[in-house]
Structure 1
C-alpha cells in the first residue's frame, strides 16, 4: 500500500465518534501535532498509523484502501463522461474528491446511476407506445452521434435535395457506372484546381486529407478503388454543395456545434453515395437484380456495407424502393450505424437481441445469413446479415470487424432474392426477437438477460417468471 493523504477521512472518523484531536491522538499513541498534520494533509497516513486505527476502533481498513479509491475514481470518470455534463473535470480533481471526500464521490455516482435508470424507464415506456417521446418530454440523445442518427431517421433516411443534385451532376458528367473515381478526380481538377495524390503515410483511419492552400487532396493508399471514389465524392460535396449542406444541417434541432458539424459530414457522405450510385440507375439495377447486394456492389464498384447503406435511402416520392432498415454492430453489441427508411424501432437504451441473426454473422465470416424474425408487437421482418472486415496494413496490423444487417417488412420480402426458399407465410417459422431485454415483453425467452424495466422479478425460486435469467447467474 502506498502512503495516502486522508485528512478528511480522519476528521470524519473523529467526528463520528465525538472525539477531540487529543483523545484520538492518545487512543492511537501519536502526538497531537502529528495528528493535526495528518488531518491537514501535511503528512501522509502510514501503514503503522492505519493499523493502530484498526486496533483502537475496529474500523474497516477498506475506508483508506488505495484500491477502493481507484475504483471510485474510475466510477467518477464514467459519470463525468456523460454528454449531459458540459463541464470538463480534470483527473486530478476527481482524484482529490475520491481521496478526501469519498462519501460525496459515492453519492454522485449513486445519483448518476439513478438518473440512468430513470432514462431507461422513460425509454421503455416510450418504446411501448412506439415513440421516442414520453408526453411532451423528448428523450435526451446520449451523444452527438445519436442526434445525427435522429436527424436522418426523422427524414426516413432520404435527403431529396442532395439525391437530386448528385444525380444531376452524374448525368452532366456522363460518369461511367462502377468506375467513377477517375471522372470525379477530373472534375475536382478542372473546376476547382485540386490535385489528387495517393499517400502511403495516411492511415486507413485518416482516409482523406485536404490542403486548401496547396489545393491538394491526399487519399490513403489503404483505400480500394470504390472507397477512393467515395472520398473524392465527399470532397466534391463540400466544394459544390457546401451551402445546401449548411442549410440542411442548420435546419436540424441540434443542441451543440459538434452535432451540427457531424451532421455536415453525414450529409456530405450521403451526397457521395448518391453520386456514385445515382438514384434512378441504382433503383433500376436493384429491382432488376432483386436486391442482390453482392451483384449491386460489383456493378457500382462499392463494398457490401456501402451498398446496404444506399439501399436504405431509396424513398423518393413516386419512385420508392423497398423500405429497408440498416444497422451495423460490433461483437460487443455496440450499434455504430442505425438507419431506417420506415418506422422500425431500434432500441436506444435497451441493447439488442442476441437471437437476431446479425450476431450470428460473426461466427460465419463473409457468409450471407437470412432470418425471418417476429417482434413482440406481432410484426414480422426478413433480415439479411453479413460480417464485414477492414484492415490497416500488414500481418500484425489490427482489423476492424462489424456485422451489418438489412431488413424489411415481410410484405416486401418476395421482391428480394434472399426470400427464395423461405416459408414467409408460416408464423411458426419466424424467430421471435425483441428490441432488447429492457423493453422486450417475452418472459419465456431462453436468452433473457434481465427482466423488463418496470416488471418485478418473481422472488419464488419455484415459480420465477425469468428462470433462464436466474439460472445463468
Structure 2
C-alpha cells in the first residue's frame, strides 16, 4: 500500500463528530501529537490506524483510498485548464486538493457546471435579441471567436490583402521560393523529423530560414510560403488592419495575424479576378478549381467564402470545418447565416456523414427552424505525413449557400430545389434548437417554450 496523506479529510470527519484531537487520539491509541502530525499531512495514515478509524468513526476505510479520487482529479484538472494562468497549478497540488478536500473539489465542479449553464442561457438570449447592429456581447468572447467575428463582420473579404496579392501576379512554388530569397533574403528548406509534425511551418528570423515539413505536398508548401511572404512583405498592411480591428487581447491579435497571413496566401495562389471567373465558368466545381490552381479541396472551399468584392462578387457561401468529435475549428460566413456558439452542431447535418464516406462529395438540402433553406456539400479531408501508423489529421468541410442561389452550382444537378419535402430539418445545436420532436435530440433545449 502506498503512503496515504489525507489529514484534512480525517480532520473533517473528527470535527463532524465533535471530537477533540485528544479524544480521538485516546480512542485510536495514539498520542495527540501523532494525530496532529497526521492531520497536518506530516505523517501518513497506516493500515492499522485506518482500520481503527473505520471502527471508531463508523466509516468505510475506503473513503481514504486514492483510487476513488482519480476521476475527480481529472475533472478538476480539465476545468482549471480553461482558466488563464492555470498552467502554474501542478498535478501534485490538484491531487492534494482532491484527496484532502473532496467537498471543495466537487463544489468547484458544480460552480463550473452552473457557470456553463448560465453562459449558454445568456448567449442564447443574446442571439434572440441581437439586432445585428453591433450590440456588444455581455460575455467576453474567446480570442478565436473574436477573430471570427472580425472576419465575418467584413463578410470574410479583406480587399486590401486581395489587391496586394493580385500585385504578386501568377505564382508557382518555385517562383515563391525565388521571391522569398530575392526580396526578403529568406531561404526555404525542407525539414524532416518529429518536430516538423507539430507545425505547418517554422520561421527562423535570425537565420532567415523557412522550414517546411517534407510531408507537405507542393500545393501545401506553396500556401505556407505565400503566407510567410505576406508576413514579411506586407507586415505594415497587416499591422494597420490589426489596429483598425481593435481586438481586445494579444491572443486575439496573434490569431488575427495568422488568419490574415493565410488569407493573403489563398489570395496569392487563387487571385481574385482569375479565380472568380474560373469559378463561374465551372459552375463552382471545387475539384476542377483545385486542379486548375494547384491547391486542395479545403483551400478552394475557404477561398470561395471570400468572394465578396463590391461590384464583382461571387456566390455568398458559408464555410465550416469540423472534426469527428464535432469541434468546429473553422466557420466563415459571407452572408447572414448564424453559427451557434452554444449547444454544438446538429448531428443531422450532412457534414458528419462525410466521415463515413471518405473521398465522396455529399449533398444535402437543409431547412433551419426559421424556415431558411440551404444547399450544402460536404467532404472529408485529411492531411499529415504518409506511412503506416503515421499521425494525421482528419476533418470534414462543408460549403453552403441559400437555396435561391443553389441553381448556379454544379452540385444542384438532379436535385429538386423547390420541393419542401426534399429538405432535411436541421438546427444550430440541440440546446438552442426549437425542434422539440427531433429524433436525434441529445440535450433538452434551453430556449423558453
TM-score (norm 1): 0.89
- Structure 2 equivalent of residue 12 of structure 1: 12
Counterpart in the other structure of 1:273 = 266
1:203 and 1:392 in contact (8 A); partners too: no
Deviation at 1:309, TM superposition (A): 0.4
Residue 251 of structure 1 aligns to a residue whose secondary structure is helix
CA distance 1:220–1:134, change in 2 (3 Å)? closer
Distance 1:130 1:294 in 2: 38
Alpha-carbon distance in structure 2 between the residues aligned to 1:402 and 1:243:
34
Which stretches of structure 1, 4 residues or more, deviate above 6 A after TM superposition? 131-135
Which range is displaced more, 424-433 or 152-161? 152-161
Output aligned runs, 1:204-353, within 5 Å: 204-353=197-346
Structure 1 position 93 matched with structure 2 position 93: yes
Range 96-105 or range 288-297, more displaced? 96-105
Change (3 A) 1:311 1:136: closer
Is residue 373–residue 402 contact of structure 2 (8 Å, CA) maintained in 1?
Answer: yes
Matched, 1:424 2:423: no
Size of the aligned set, in residue pairs, is 448
Matched, 1:25 2:17: no
Distance 1:160 1:105 in 2: 51
Is the Cα contact below 8 Å between 2:432 and 2:447 reproduced in 1? Answer: no
Deviation at 1:204, TM superposition (A): 4.3
Shift of the alpha carbon at 1:121?
1.0
Which residue number corresponds to residue 436 of structure 1? 429
How many Å apart are 1:130 and its aligned residue? 5.5
Identify the range of structure 1 (245-254 vs 289-298) with the bigger mean alpha-carbon deviation. 245-254
Asked if the contact 1:390–1:399 (Cα under 8 Å) also holds between the matched residues in 2, the reply is yes
- CA distance in 1 between partners of 2:130 and 2:352 (Å): 25
Structure 1 runs not aligned, ≥5 long: 457-473
What's the counterpart of residue 117 of structure 1? 117
Contact 2:81 2:87 in 1 (8 A): no
Decide which of 187, 200, 212 is 1:195's aligned counterpart.
187
Q: Which residue of 2 aligns with 1:108?
A: 108
1:454-465 alignment runs, 5 A limit = 454=447
Go from structure 1 to structure 2 and tell me whether the alpha carbon gap of 1:83 and 1:314 turns closer, same or farther (over 3 Å shift).
farther
**By how many angstroms is 1:113 displaced?**
1.4
Map Cα deviations across residues 123-158 of structure 1 (whole Å, 9 max, x no partner). 2223334669997543332x4322222221222111
Q: Where does residue 373 of structure 2 map in the other structure? A: 380
What runs of 5+ residues in structure 2 fail to find an aligned partner?
Answer: none
